[in-house]
Each structure stands twice: as C-alpha cells, then as structure tokens.
A = this chain, B = another copy of it.
Amino acid sequence: MRSRQQQKAQTRQKLMDAAAGELASGRSFDTLSLREIAKLAGIAPTSFYRHFHDMEGLGLALIEACGESLLELMHEVREQASGGRSLIRVSVETLFDHMLNNQGLSRMVLQESMSRESPFRDAAERLLETMSRDLAEFLVWDAEQRGVPLGHPRLAADSTVAILFTNGIALLNTPVEDHARHIEAVVTQLRMIMRGAEVMGQAV
C-alpha cells in the first residue's frame, strides 16, 4: 500500500483537479458545491473536511498553485530570453500558453482579483502585484543594459500586466486560427508602451 501521506496528498489533488475541471468547463468557483466536488473526486461529501476546512480553503489552494507555476514560468522565460529572441514576444507566448492550459484557474484568479475584499481577492491581488514588481525590476535592469533610460518603470510594468492578462483572457474565447494575429496585436501594444516609456525617460 501507499503510505498515508502519499494517499492523502493524492486525494487532495483529486479534489483540486475536480474543481479545476469544473472551472475549465465554464463554471464560476462559487457555483461549485462541496458535495459536487467530493463526488467528482470520488469521495464521500463528509470526507472533504479531511483535506480542506472549507470550499474557501480549496479555492485558496487553487489560486496558490496557479500563482506558483506562473511565477516559476516567467522566471524561466527570462533566462531563455537572454538567448536572443525578443523578450516581449517570448513572454507573451509563454504566458498565453500557460493560460490556455489552465483556462479555469486563469479565469478564476482574474475574476477574483476584481471581487470585493476577501481572501480570494487578496491572494489573486498578491499574485498580480508580484508579477508586476518582478517585471518592473527586470525592465530597469534591461534598460540599463541597453543604455536606454526608462520613465516610470513601475507604471509601465503595471500597464503591461493589465494588457497581458486582459488579452490573455480574450484569447481563451478566440478560435485557434485567430491566435497568431491576436498575439501580434498584443506584442504591438506592449511595444507601444515601451516606446512611450522610453520617450518619457528621455524627456527627464
């Protein structure tokens, strides 16, 4: 038999997968019921409590997991991008790829980031904040590298993140054959911001 830890971890994962699956098929998180998720995961309703105190607990775990994989991914992108390809393009493609492979979670995180004060909102907000901070830091480093001063790097990063996620979501509702064109549009928008930031940097 598998050890208790392994077994428990696996059941917990089943619960998270069940919820993520429902999210991916279009449900919003708070239409999910404890009983329903338990059934999908193949356990009795009351066994749910062995893993999460709440549906809220499950939700937080989902957001947490999504955040971890996302930050890790963007971290990899920076190393990979130093290989020469356009950083902007690689970032966009990588992020969108992740969102396409995690549609349910992506939607949930962004929707919750727009909700009212709640544990979900806090978690989602923290994730976006971290992404923006990391990006700003990188932008400064990159600008110095190229000897081109950037005006308001943090604001540029905020704009970038807003545009990235807004368009990422839009992409999920777009037929595959339009993806390439859509990505091109986003890349142009981001270049626009960078040009603007550079101009405002020189103006100082």
Q: Which residues of A contact B (CB under 8 A)?
A: 25-26, 28, 30-31, 107, 110-111, 113-118, 121, 125, 151-152, 155-156, 158-159, 162-163, 166-167, 169, 172-173, 185, 188-189, 191-197, 199-200
Structural contact, B107 and A115, CB atoms closer than 8 A: yes
- How far does the alpha carbon of A156 sit from the alpha carbon of B186 in the complex, in Å? 10
Complex contacts, A200 vs chain B, CB 8 Å: 191-192, 195
A193-B193, A200-B192, A200-B195 known; A117 vs B28 contact (CB < 8 Å): no
Complex contacts, A152 vs chain B, CB 8 Å: 188-189, 192
- How far does the alpha carbon of A106 sit from the alpha carbon of B197 in the complex, in Å? 29
Least Cβ–Cβ distance between A172 and chain B, in angstroms: 8
Structural contact, B155 and A188, CB atoms closer than 8 A: yes
- How far does the alpha carbon of A166 sit from the alpha carbon of B168 in the complex, in Å? 14
A159-B163, A162-B167 known; A192 vs B196 contact (CB < 8 Å): yes
Question: What would 8 more interface pairs be, CB under 8 Å, given A26-B116, A158-B189?
Answer: A113-B169, A117-B173, A155-B185, A156-B189, A191-B196, A191-B200, A192-B197, A192-B200
- How far does the alpha carbon of A117 sit from the alpha carbon of B174 in the complex, in Å? 10
Structural contact, B30 and A192, CB atoms closer than 8 A: no
Least Cβ–Cβ distance between A29 and chain B, in angstroms: 9
User: Of B156, B162, B169, B197, which is within 8 A of A114 by CB?
Assistant: B169
Complex contacts, A158 vs chain B, CB 8 Å: 167, 185, 189
Chain B residue at minimum C-beta to C-beta distance from A173:
B117
User: Of B30, B155, B156, B172, which is within 8 A of A28 by CB?
Assistant: B30
Chain B residue at minimum C-beta to C-beta distance from A109:
B114
Least Cβ–Cβ distance between A170 and chain B, in angstroms: 8
- How far does the alpha carbon of A194 sit from the alpha carbon of B193 in the complex, in Å? 9
Structural contact, A159 and B192, CB atoms closer than 8 A: yes
